[in-house]
Structure 1
């Protein structure tokens, strides 16, 4: 498989993860959080605050999926994936000393976010280098 093929596969995985989490947050935040043993209150303000970033994740994930499917805007999709996934991991990392150790499921999610996030940084770099080589320039 070529580097472009690997990157498209990575973007496909990222897109499914981001879109899936986003759609679950928008459509049924109670079920999404119940997966990790968290019971949400029926407070409309809380639910609005959870659904709003879910919408952003769903749209961002849709862009990443479209990029993977079409083979277009792959560097932008890699950057967006890296920002979202590493941002999520950073939030979890900050939470550990402030809030305590989460359960194993959330630690697994943290690991997946780190792996996919850093893989997205690699993809962005690889796409940058291939663009520079195609243009006859030295890679940055």
Structure 2
């Protein structure tokens, strides 16, 4: 679990476990199943923020950056990460590099949950059940 007491973690390293995949492609898959996976709004905001920062390149992602970007307190970040970890949706690995506290956040359990196909809903079924959407799609 991530703890808020004492010195805060210096940085976060988010990963999907397989970094050969495109973050935004994965995020678009995840967003479709977000509520079925059990991800809450604040948790999703944090995940999106982490991968948005990661897309900027080799910029270290610090707790301070996230709190400023999301206009929240560090306790919220800790609460969201702990909740995701308790649900089994993130694996947090703690490390020290050059005296800095790092947290590697492996979100691959989310992908495994989606790949398991244990949902009553699929992306295609949404369009099959919505004639108005089909008509609109044909107009393009």
Taking structure 1 as the reference length, the TM-score comes to 0.31
- Relative to the length of structure 2, the TM-score reads 0.31
Identify, as 1 or 2, the structure richer in strand: 2
Richer in helix (by share): 1
